[in-house]
Amino acid sequence: MSPATLEILDHVYPGLAFFLGLLLGSFYNVCVHRYLSGESIVFPGSKCPKCDHPLAWWENIPVVSFLILRGRCRACAKPISWRYPLVELVSGLWAFGLALKFPLHLTTAAYSTGWEWSLGVFGVHMVIGGILIVASFIDFDSYILPDILTLPGAVLALAGAYFVLRPALGWPTLTESLVGAAIGGGLFWLLQFLYRKLKGMEGLGTGDIKLMLLLGAWNGWASLPFVLLAAGVTAIFGYIVYNRMNQSEEPTMVPFGPFLSLGGMLYVLFGDWYWAYLGGGM
C-alpha cells in the first residue's frame, strides 16, 4: 500500500474499531438476554422480548434502531430496555479507546512492536472486555456472574497476557499474572469468609472471587490497587444514582461485579497515567 493509504488507515482505525464495537455490542445483548431467558444464542432469531415480534434487519442496527423506533417496539409499542443501546455504546467506546491506546502506526517505521502486535493486543483486550461486558450486565439483572464466562475468561486472560501482552508490551509476566490471580481471588475469598463468620450471612458472591481471578490474571497483581479503588469509587457513585433514580428510601443491593469489571477496563486504558502519577512504570 502507498504511504498515503497507510496514513488514511491510521486515522480511520479508531472509527472502524468503534463500529466493530457497536456490532459486537449487539451480539453481547443477545448473549445477556438469552442467558437470562434460558434460550439458545443461535435460535430463534431476534425478536421483541415482550410480544415476540420478529425484528427486521433495520430494527437491529446498533443504537440507530433504538433512536429510529424512539425506544419502543414497532409492533406492541412497549418500551425497549435502555440496556440495549447502553451495552452497544459501552462496547463501541471500549473498542474506540483501545484503538486510540494501541494505534497501528502503519506509517511509523520506528514503531517498536509492529501493527501485527497492535492488532493482537487489541484482539486480546476486546475478547476479555466482551466477556466482562456480558458478565456485568447479567450481574446487573440477576446478581449472578456466570462461571461459564468468568472461569474460561480467567484462562483466556492468563493465556492472552502471556502469549500476546507480554511479548508486545513487556507486561504482565507470567509470574505477575499468576500472582495477580492468586491475590485477587484470595483476597475476595478471605473477605467472603470473614464476613460469613462475623455476620453469619453472605456479603460477597463467589462469582466476584472468580471475577478477581480473571482481572488479576489479565493485568497482573500491580493493577489490583487501581482496580479496587476505581471499583469502589464508581460503585458508590452508582449506588447513589440508582437509589435517587428509583426514589427508594430502603437500601438497595447493587452488584459489585460490574464495577470491578469497569476498574479492570479503566486500568487497561489509563493504567500508564496512574503509574506516571505515582512515579513508576507499568
pLDDT average per 10 residues of sequence, the chain (282 residues): 80 96 98 94 88 92 96 94 97 98 75 72 97 98 96 95 87 92 96 88 86 96 97 92 74 87 97 84 55
Residue with cell 456485568: 136
- What's the count of helices (H) and strands (E) in the chain, helices before strands? 10, 0
Give the C-alpha separation, 94 to 86, whole Å. Answer: 12
Partners of residue 47 on adjacent β-strands: 54
Which are the contacts of 199, defined by CB distance < 8 A and separation ≥ 6? Answer: none
Q: What is the pLDDT at residue 108?
A: 66
pTM of the model as a whole: 0.93
Q: Residue 33: CA atoms inside 13 Å, Cβ hemisphere, count?
A: 22
Q: What's phi and psi for 50, nearest 5 deg? A: -100, -35
- Which triple of cell numbers denotes residue 15? 472509527
Whole-Å CA distances, 120 to 15, 16, 160, 169, 242: 18, 16, 9, 11, 37
Containing H/E element for 38?
none
Q: What is the pLDDT at residue 227?
A: 98
Residue 109 class from Cβ within 10 Å (0-12 exposed, 13-18 middle, 19+ buried)?
exposed
* Domain spans of the chain, in order of start: 1-100, 112-282
Give the C-alpha separation, 251 to 194, whole Å. Answer: 22
Q: What is the pLDDT at residue 127?
A: 98
Residue with cell 476486546: 126
Give the C-alpha separation, 134 to 149, whole Å. Answer: 8
- Which triple of cell numbers denotes residue 8? 488514511
Q: Which contacts (CB < 8 Å, 24+ apart) does range 54-59 have?
A: none
Q: What is the pLDDT at residue 111?
A: 47
Q: What's phi and psi for 273, nearest 5 deg? A: -65, -40
**DSSP conformation class of 163:** I
Q: What is the pLDDT at residue 250?
A: 66
Whole-Å CA distances, 181 to 17, 158, 251: 29, 9, 32
